[in-house]
């Protein structure tokens, strides 16, 4: 069972709550996914006229851990302010920290990310940083107080899968005891299975499910893929090799003269 910040999660799938065609479809997707965490943007809520309360009630009814995020923030000040507002609205110390540095790829601003992570950790937040696979940045984030790392697989919403498998494998090897979550860029269940086969602890996705023709069926497919990938990792799979190796024994083979 996966444990993050002392909380045990029943599932290794984390699912976003944006872009679904309707609240009913969102609820159905979560039911089929068995996701353990729902990410929620503060922008879905409002302090005036109880706007957003129906959405918040729906999220609460899902019965999962809530992970507010700072989606859309481009500066340290904006991210820290949003995090404080999220803690008040959602009543949790958890925050998925995003500090976006580049518009076309939505790549994290890793310098601002580390600074914001340190500020929030010192203020009692439990930070889930959306980062790159850079090992130096990862080490700085851990030193800033983070206990989990969330490297991207590919740009948000792209569906490209795991763009840098070398870098991700290096991160897994370099931080064997740190919970690692692939966050963003997955488009197919096979890509999620690949991440789990590499030894990652969980995946977080949104668009691949929300924009599917049948979000509930896609959510179920991802849930199955995570189970298969995790089981394969624990089974200690064979190493790939360049040359063929016969699967049937050749000793005792009959020879014709």
Strand pairing category for 150-151 and 7-9: unpaired
Q: Choose, from 32, 77, 93, 96, the residue flagged as catalytic.
A: 96
The two structure tokens encoding residue 15:
């699912």
CA distances from residue 136 to 146, 154, 172 in whole angstroms, order as listed: 14, 19, 13
Does 7 appear as a known binding residue?
Answer: no
Q: 67 with 40: CB under 8 angstroms?
A: yes
Query: In whole angstroms, what is the distance from residue 191 CA to residue 184 CA?
Result: 11
Does 157 appear as a known binding residue?
Answer: yes
Is 32 one of the catalytic residues? no
Does 207 appear as a known binding residue?
Answer: yes
Within 8 A by CB and 6+ apart from 113, the residues are 97, 99, 129, 130, 131, 137, 141
131-136 long-range contacts, CB within 8 A, separation 24+: 132/107, 132/108, 133/164, 133/167, 133/168, 133/170, 133/171, 134/110, 134/167, 135/170, 135/171, 135/174
Does 199 appear as a known binding residue?
Answer: no
What is the three-class DSSP state of 72? coil
217 burial via Cβ count (<10 Å: 0-12, 13-18, 19+)? middle
Does 35 appear as a known binding residue?
Answer: no
Annotated binding site for 1-deoxy-D-xylulose 5-phosphate: 157, 184-185, 206-207
Annotated binding site: 157, 184-185, 206-207
- Residues marked active site are found at 96
């Amino acid at each position: 069972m996966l444990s993050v910040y002392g909380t045990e999660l029943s599932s290794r799938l984390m699912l976003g709550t944006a872009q679904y065609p309707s609240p009913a479809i969102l609820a159905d997707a979560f039911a089929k996914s068995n996701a353990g965490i729902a990410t929620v943007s503060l922008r879905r809520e409002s302090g005036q006229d109880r706007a957003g309360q129906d959405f918040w009630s729906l999220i609460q009814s899902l019965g999962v851990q809530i992970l507010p995020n700072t989606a859309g923030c481009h500066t340290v000040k904006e991210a820290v302010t949003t995090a404080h507002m999220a803690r008040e609205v959602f009543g949790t110390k958890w925050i998925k920290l995003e500090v976006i540095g580049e518009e076309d790829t939505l790549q994290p601003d890793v310098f601002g990310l580390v600074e914001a992570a340190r500020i929030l950790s010192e203020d009692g937040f439990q930070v889930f940083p959306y980062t790159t696979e850079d090992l130096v940045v990862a080490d700085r984030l851990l030193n800033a107080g983070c206990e989990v790392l969330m490297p991207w697989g590919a740009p948000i919403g792209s569906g490209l899968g795991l763009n840098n498998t070398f870098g991700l494998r290096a991160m897994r090897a370099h931080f064997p005891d740190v919970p690692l979550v692939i966050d963003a860029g997955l488009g197919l269940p096979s890509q999620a299975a690949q991440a789990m086969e590499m030894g990652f602890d969980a995946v977080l996705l949104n668009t691949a499910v929300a924009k599917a023709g049948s979000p509930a069926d896609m959510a179920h497919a991802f849930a199955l893929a995570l189970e298969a990938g995790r089981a394969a990792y624990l089974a200690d799979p064979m190493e790939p090799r360049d040359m063929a190796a016969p699967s049937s024994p050749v000793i005792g083979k009959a020879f014709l003269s």
